[in-house]
Structure 1
Amino acid sequence: MVSEYVYSPHVDFFIDRVDRDSGYEMASFHIHHKYEIYYEIEGSRRYFIEDAAYIVNAGCVVLIGENQIHKTASLGDTASSRIVMNFSREYLDKIMDIFPEVDFFSFLSEEHNHLLSNITVKQQNHIQGLLQQLLALQEETSPESDALRKMLLATLLLELKDLCRQQQEQGGENGRVSNHIVDQIQAYIAEHYAEKLTLTGIASQFYISPYYLSRLFKKSINLSLIEYINGVRIKAAQNLIEKSNESISDIAEKTGFMTTAHFRRVFKDATGLSPQQYRQYYKRVNK
């Protein structure tokens, strides 16, 4: 059975279980103004987050912060099951008002916390149990169900935060798959993303063939070179949209897109919103 997970930028909380009988790869990278928790029930995946790749096995938890680029793909053509949850900071506003001294969110964005892999079977079962309860409430609309959903989410966040602390104290591996050449290329793109970048041009900078660069990038971080460049540009564009009143066409030019039309298309594919809609959304949630 295949359950399709569809991200919606207009919903403050969403959870779904995705079951697949064979391998699957996201068509492109994804970025949104929400947090994400991903629990692998069965199978193994390769997960790309920001500028790093991770191997995710059954029982692992993936944590993704706001506006962090990510993409996932199968490791082989095997069955897999996972639970995916998106939620906004605003969804827990009332609980945060009650506990203003508690930080529910910042740990989700820290690089060393992206992959929780040192989890006991008992802890795995407990996390999955909380997620199953949240799944059962997905279609419920009563005030009582909404209150229970928020309390369960707050409980899950605090328990995951503590597991992250334990993993750090135990010196557990963060699961990152690294490649020295790819790291250098990523640093180069971060510095030159506003310029015209091509596969051939970047390959020549590092004295490697375009073919080798293309295969190396795809194998290491599960993104094509152009996907990665577009991701860096979209993040830079989001920052400009949030912090300036510059026109969309000026932002497109400043972040390396050749045309405004292309920028609009890539931005909407990545975020689910047009640049104008994203600006309106950001102003609404940050007023």
Structure 2
Amino acid sequence: MEKTVFSESMEGIVIDEVVRDQEYSMTMKHFHDTYELYFLLEGERYYFIEKETYYVKTGDLVLVNREQVHKTSQAGCKTHDRILLQLSQRVLEPWLKSAGMYSLEKIFGDYYGVIKLSDTEWEEMKNLLLGIRNELEHRADKYELMVRFMLSQILLIICRNRKRNVVKEMPPTVQTAKHGKVHEVAEYLTVHCETGESLEALAERFFISKSYLSRIFREVTSFSVNEYRNLARVRKARELLANSDYSITEISDILGFESVTYFERIFKKHAAATPSGYRKAFQLAK
């Protein structure tokens, strides 16, 4: 069973709480243009970000930077309860700057991954999250301002926690032979996303069997090898569409797609826009 406890939003901020007591692994969308805060209220999860897998338990907070490939999957008990907070840089950054806060880019760039909170910090976080929920639900006078103040408190708690614990070890990633091998492959696919290596050639490169690579990659990341490579390609395509004069055909060739048609189909699947539409929207937003 899956139950949405609440789902509220205002410009620049979306917050929701979902409880599940069944096996669950995230589906699309696997990367996006918003910053994400994931609070695990109950249960335990594996959280794959970029190339690493983290073990997350009750009371942990996960920061996911913009454009980072990420996915959660089951670890242990099927039941879990989480609150998700998504933040828009375009909307929130000017206000945070005027308030003297660190930028979202800096906070999520420096601190992405899992943050272990003290019991006091965790209670503060829960109260602030529920406060945001209540403000968005009832929308009293100046509720937007109150929500932004509470968000700034959440971000300050995060910054203070990380500065205080800078000399301590970061929460460890899952370090088994299986996870280590998947990390190697994921890192290679991220850097060399344009390569058209077959699954067999990739398995040979990393000295494992094709069937074993296929199985462990999906177990750890919840992606197939080809899905992960295509996500890396789409992310690179977005950079090229925004910051280069290459034509769509040239970008398709650079990134190793077998045809422009296939490139456009994969891009639209993951970016929710055609390549030409994405480039046009980016240019209009400048």
Name the structure 2 match of 1:211.
Answer: 211
Tell whether 2:175 aligns with 1:174.
no
Q: Which has the higher contact order (CA 8 A, sep 6+)?
A: 1
Name the structure 1 match of 2:3.
Answer: 2
Judge conservation of contact 1:53–1:220 (CA < 8 Å) in 2.
yes
TM-score (norm 2): 0.86
**TM-fit CA distance, 1:245:** 3.2
Hey, what's the Cα distance between the residues in 2 that align with 1:83 and 1:11? 18
Tell whether 2:51 aligns with 1:51.
yes
Hey, what's the Cα distance between the residues in 2 that align with 1:230 and 1:157? 33
SS at match of 1:159: helix
Name the structure 1 match of 2:69.
Answer: 69
Hey, what's the Cα distance between the residues in 2 that align with 1:96 and 1:168? 23
SS at match of 1:86: strand
**TM-fit CA distance, 1:18:** 1.0
Judge conservation of contact 1:46–1:72 (CA < 8 Å) in 2.
yes
**TM-fit CA distance, 1:34:** 1.1
Name the structure 1 match of 2:222.
Answer: 222
Q: 1:129 aligns with which of 120, 124, 127?
A: 127
Judge conservation of contact 1:30–1:271 (CA < 8 Å) in 2.
no
Cα separation, partners in 2 of 1:151 and 1:185, compared to 1, 3 Å: same
SS at match of 2:181: helix
Structure 2 letter corresponding to 1:174: P
Judge conservation of contact 2:93–2:103 (CA < 8 Å) in 1.
no
Hey, what's the Cα distance between the residues in 2 that align with 1:253 and 1:27? 28
Count matched residues: 282
**TM-fit CA distance, 1:3:** 1.9
Work out the percentage of aligned pairs sharing the same amino acid.
27
**TM-fit CA distance, 1:276:** 3.4
SS at match of 2:170: coil
**TM-fit CA distance, 1:217:** 1.6
Structure 2 letter corresponding to 1:173: M
Cα separation, partners in 2 of 1:116 and 1:191, compared to 1, 3 Å: closer
Structure 1 letter corresponding to 2:158: L
Gaps of 5+ in 2: none
SS at match of 1:176: coil
SS at match of 2:169: coil
- Counting only pairs closer than 5 Å after superposition, residues 43-192 of structure 1 correspond to structure 2 as 43-76=43-76, 78-99=78-99, 102-110=102-110, 113-117=112-116, 119-139=117-137, 144-169=142-167, 171-178=168-175, 179-192=179-192
SS at match of 1:25: coil
Cα separation, partners in 2 of 1:275 and 1:134, compared to 1, 3 Å: farther
Hey, what's the Cα distance between the residues in 2 that align with 1:232 and 1:62? 21
Cα separation, partners in 2 of 1:173 and 1:100, compared to 1, 3 Å: closer
Judge conservation of contact 1:53–1:222 (CA < 8 Å) in 2.
no
Name the structure 2 match of 1:20.
Answer: 20
**TM-fit CA distance, 1:240:** 0.7
Cα separation, partners in 2 of 1:77 and 1:154, compared to 1, 3 Å: same
1:189-233 Cα offsets, whole Å, 9 max, x none, are 234321212211101222321011112222333332112211211
Judge conservation of contact 2:248–2:275 (CA < 8 Å) in 1.
yes
Hey, what's the Cα distance between the residues in 1 that align with 2:273 and 2:257? 17
Structure 2 letter corresponding to 1:189: L
Cα separation, partners in 2 of 1:201 and 1:59, compared to 1, 3 Å: same
**TM-fit CA distance, 1:12:** 2.5
TM-score (norm 1): 0.86
Tell whether 2:49 aligns with 1:31.
no
Cα separation, partners in 2 of 1:221 and 1:4, compared to 1, 3 Å: farther
Gaps of 5+ in 1: none
Cα separation, partners in 2 of 1:143 and 1:237, compared to 1, 3 Å: farther
Judge conservation of contact 1:23–1:75 (CA < 8 Å) in 2.
no
Judge conservation of contact 1:51–1:186 (CA < 8 Å) in 2.
yes
Hey, what's the Cα distance between the residues in 2 that align with 1:273 and 1:46? 30
**TM-fit CA distance, 1:151:** 1.6
